[in-house]
Structure 1
Amino acid sequence: MTDAYSSAGSQEPAEDDGRPVIRDKRRIDPQTGKVRDSGAAEGDSAVSQQNPEPGPEQPVDPTGQQAPGSTPQPEAPAGAPGSGPAQGETDVQNEGGADERAAELQDQLLREKAAFHNYRELMKRERPKDRDAAIGSVVEALLPVMDDIHLAREHGDLAEGTPFAKIADKLESTLTRFGVQSIGAKGEAFDPTLHEALMHVQADLPEGSEGTTVVQVMQPGYKIGDRVVRAARVSVADPA
């Protein structure tokens, strides 16, 4: 045994990288105690020197922190896997924000739709009034002309077939198409909302008259729908 261990090994210069190569020429394996082949012993020793076993692992603190004396590990850069919130959490947050924005837009759309509906209904109610107001302003401008036509007809100046009579008929028919109605006729019951009594006289009334009655129309009145442009100016009488 002494002779076997006496030739422990020899150091030879390295042929490749300049490091020393130790060749173990012992025939007996110091670990197993068996006789080994000389070529295998030299190869194992050379491999063990060229590829040394890795050193001991760095100690780790059970709390998760690095133990004293160990090499500090670099921190993961921002955006690297394992840093910041998980991708799934980010997707959930983005989806929640999109749902809230969609709900806000839908609510705003419903409000605008309701406002437009109210405006349309208001225009439907106000349009006839605006139309009547426009026609009424035209009739007010034509009142002097309509009064002259009435006086000419009362004095017999509008004989049937004359050019002036045709013009008067066309004007009155045009106003009628736009909803203009004449107010005031002899024999009508006096209505203070439609008539303006300029004179109160004694006169024979038609049979069946029970109240104040129109006996003469001085200036006819006009109305458009329920709006009175001008009340008829009349002379009235009471039954005897």
Structure 2
Amino acid sequence: MTDMNSERNEDKEPFHFVDNRRIDPETGDVREGADQAGAGSAPAGAGSDDPIAHLDFDPAGPIDDELAAAQAKATELLDDLQRERASFTNYRNRALRDQEAARTKGVEDVLSALLPALDDISRAKEHEQLSGPFAAIVEKVTGALSKFNVESFGAVGEEFDPTLHEALMHQEDPDAQAITISHVIEPGYRIGEKVVRAARVAVTGPAQ
């Protein structure tokens, strides 16, 4: 029996132990070639830039139904918010335009009511009849109107503009090259670019 066991042991390959430890337990030094050997036995993705490459799941896999529903709801709410914001912006701009239009209309109504008095002031200036306290009052009135962007226009020598001037009298001049204002009967008034009353004038122009 002993001879048979010996023969069987001789037929088997001898067992060899390979020490793959990186640190030599006797010297404590790093063994030569340990880094290269360890690199081959490292888990997949351990040396890559992706920290989850070695994990057993697909991050780009199907999204959970609850998460998908939440994302859809968030998108819907964002769209609603953007629509409300656009609606508010349009409302604010419209309100500002209406406010400015109402302000201009109020100034226009006041100016229209003052036109007879302003015409008297213009005639008094033309005849140099403004003096003393009356001149100071006129200065305050014109200064107050200018704060509301009220401006008078129309002067002798200006070229006639039918959008700004109303010609009440016309005199021919064979030497004239264009129609010009020869006399201002009543000055015109405007608020910004809006003409409240055209200047009423006498003009001189070439023979027709």
Would you call these one fold, judging by a TM-score over 0.5? yes
2:125 is equivalent to residue 153 of structure 1? yes
Higher relative contact order (CA 8 A, sep 6+): 2
How far apart, CA to CA, are the structure 1 residues paired with 2:173 and 2:128? 23
How far apart, CA to CA, are the structure 1 residues paired with 2:159 and 2:72? 70
**Counterparts of 1:1-240 in structure 2 under 5 Å?**
97-123=69-95, 128-159=100-131, 162-201=132-171, 210-239=177-206
Deviates more, 1:100-109 or 1:162-171: 100-109
**What amino acid maps onto 2:108 in structure 1?**
G
Q: Equivalent residue of 2:162, what SS?
A: coil
Contact 1:203-1:215 within 8 A present in 2 as well: no
**What amino acid maps onto 2:151 in structure 1?**
Q
Query: How many residues are treated as equivalent by the alignment?
Result: 144
**What amino acid maps onto 1:236 in structure 2?**
V
CA RMSD of aligned residues (A): 2.8
**TM-score between the two structures when normalised by the length of structure 2:** 0.59
Question: Where does residue 40 of structure 1 map in the other structure?
Answer: none
- The alpha carbon displacement at 1:115 in A equals 1.6
- The alpha carbon displacement at 1:175 in A equals 1.1
Q: Equivalent residue of 2:201, what SS?
A: strand
Q: Equivalent residue of 1:157, what SS?
A: coil
Question: Where does residue 46 of structure 1 map in the other structure?
Answer: none
How far apart, CA to CA, are the structure 2 residues paired with 1:158 and 1:232? 22
Question: Where does residue 77 of structure 1 map in the other structure?
Answer: none
How far apart, CA to CA, are the structure 2 residues paired with 1:212 and 1:194? 14
Q: Equivalent residue of 2:160, what SS?
A: coil
Question: Where does residue 12 of structure 1 map in the other structure?
Answer: none
**What amino acid maps onto 2:146 in structure 1?**
T
Cα deviation 1:101-132 (Å, max 9, x = unaligned): 33322221111112222333445556554443
**TM-score between the two structures when normalised by the length of structure 1:** 0.52
Q: Which runs of 5+ in 1 are unaligned?
A: 1-91
How far apart, CA to CA, are the structure 2 residues paired with 1:115 and 1:180? 34
How far apart, CA to CA, are the structure 1 residues paired with 2:85 and 2:113? 41
How far apart, CA to CA, are the structure 1 residues paired with 2:104 and 2:121? 23
**What amino acid maps onto 2:83 in structure 1?**
R
Q: Which runs of 5+ in 2 are unaligned?
A: 1-63
How far apart, CA to CA, are the structure 1 residues paired with 2:133 and 2:107? 26
Decide whether aligned partners of structure 1 residues 177 and 204 sit closer, same or farther in structure 2, where only a CA change above 3 A counts: farther
Q: Equivalent residue of 1:201, what SS?
A: strand
- The alpha carbon displacement at 1:177 in A equals 2.3
- The alpha carbon displacement at 1:236 in A equals 0.9
- Identical aligned pairs, as a percentage? 47
- The alpha carbon displacement at 1:174 in A equals 1.5
**What amino acid maps onto 1:211 in structure 2?**
A
